[in-house]
Amino acid sequence: MNSSSCFRRAAFIAILALLTSAATGLQPTPRSNEQQRGLLYADLWMQTSAEYVACCLQTYQLAGDAVEHNVQQIHTEKNTLAPEFHKPPPAVIMDLDETVLDNATFQTYLYDIGENYSDELWSRFVSDHHTSIRLVPGAKDFIDRVEFLGVTVLYITNREETLRKTTIETLAQWGVNITGLDDPNSLRLLMQPHGESSKTARRDLVRAKFHILALVGDQLGDFADEFSPNHDNTVAARRETVYEYRRLWGTRWFILPKPVYGQWQAVLRGDPQQYLRRAEK
């Protein structure tokens, strides 16, 4: 049995244990803790529900359609405009974790060992258990589709630079195009620089060389820093900002569901560091 199957089986056993303990009054498995038990149903939703798959496929279908429409417009402009008015090469910016890579088994891993998130545990899991990491439904079809159209796919992730090699191996095991990902200067894979979680500077690097047709992510910080957790950025304020950008959702910005962790959690809990560290992945 491979590690992916082991972690998913552990999740199923865990939920059965919770249901049994609720019915009998017994305590949950001693290896789990309160935080991880609270996240278990969200983790199982991502790993087992057909609704999650449908949400992802819907998002990637809409994103692919929008990119293809924009590419057609670019070709039309090239035929009607002088070369000096042509736009830079088209590109799409994608986050990695929970956007391309499905790390639901990491949450099962945390539950199974009874620990909360830490950078050390995350790095160990990504390095030692990368074969258990799957692709988000629809991600590869979208990547293949836009690359066939001549669009460059660029990844901006808050994984540390030390994880570049294992990140490439994880993508390669599912047949994702990894050309140029090993070269930090190619802009194809921009890792987290010096612990800086903001993606604005890296997006600006891309915009200087490419015409961005779409951004795809799983949390609002993948699109603009205005959403990042801070003392002024309340739950209500973030919602208002989402409405301000309503014209971009489904046309240039495409977001995927992620109930297990994220910046929303850091805001909701008053921005404790242990939540914010993981939320920025």
> Do residues 4 and 131 touch, judged by C-beta distance below 8 A?
yes
Q: What is the pTM of this model?
A: 0.84
Q: How confident is the model at residue 5 (pLDDT cuts 50, 70, 90)?
A: low
Helices 164-172, 119-128: axis angle to 10 degrees equals 40
Angle among Cα 104, 140, 150 to the nearest 5 degrees reads 145
**Mean pLDDT confidence for 261-279:** 66
Higher pLDDT, 266 or 134: 134
pLDDT tens readout for residues 31-65: 556 666 778 888 889 999 999 999 999 999 999 99
> Do residues 37 and 18 touch, judged by C-beta distance below 8 A?
yes
pLDDT tens readout for residues 63-96: 999 999 999 999 887 777 666 666 899 999 999 9
Nearest to residue 46, comparing CAs of 101, 88, 128?
101
pLDDT tens readout for residues 190-224: 999 887 888 999 999 999 999 999 999 999 999 99
CA-to-CA dists, residue 180 to 152, 183, 280, angstroms: 11, 6, 24
Full set of structural domains in the chain with CATH: 53-102+133-279 (3.40.50.1000)
pLDDT tens readout for residues 136-180: 999 999 999 999 999 999 999 999 999 999 999 999 999 999 999
pLDDT tens readout for residues 100-110: 999 999 988 88
